[in-house]
Amino acid sequence: DAKTTQPPSMDCAEGRAANLPCNHSTISGNEYVYWYRQIHSQGPQYIIHGLKNNETNEMASLIITEDRKSSTLILPHATLRDTAVYYCIVRVGTLYGQNFVFGPGTRLSVLP
């Protein structure tokens, strides 16, 4: 199973871009990279996912390296409400069933 490695914590100044790295060196060719975040003890919130190309949506941008061994989630203008634990996930599964394996994630603190 592909594993991910993230820094345990990061700080970011409010209004600045938050860049959260993730290593997934054992990812296979057909595995997607997903990002979720969890604010306090709320349900994990889907942010973005990608396979090979960079992706952008209204919440964030996802940059995946060409060799797909690492990726970076970018929150372009972090606000205090972005303080959360961010999870980088490589989904494990087949067409039959799947599992999202959550690691410890990165605790992002957005500072005023």
Residue from the set 59, 103, 107, 109 that interacts with other proteins by CB under 8 A = 103
Q: How far apart are CA 103 and CA 111, in angstroms?
A: 24
Contacts with other proteins, 66-85, as mask; x by CB under 8 A: --------------------
Q: Which of residues 18-47 bind other proteins (CB under 8 A)?
A: 30, 32, 34, 36, 41-46
Record the tokens describing residue 40, joined without a space.
Answer: 């306090």
Q: How far apart are CA 81 and CA 31, in angstroms?
A: 30
Q: How far apart are CA 34 and CA 25, in angstroms?
A: 15
Q: Interface residues with other proteins (CB under 8 A)?
A: 30, 32, 34, 36, 41-46, 49, 87, 91, 93-105
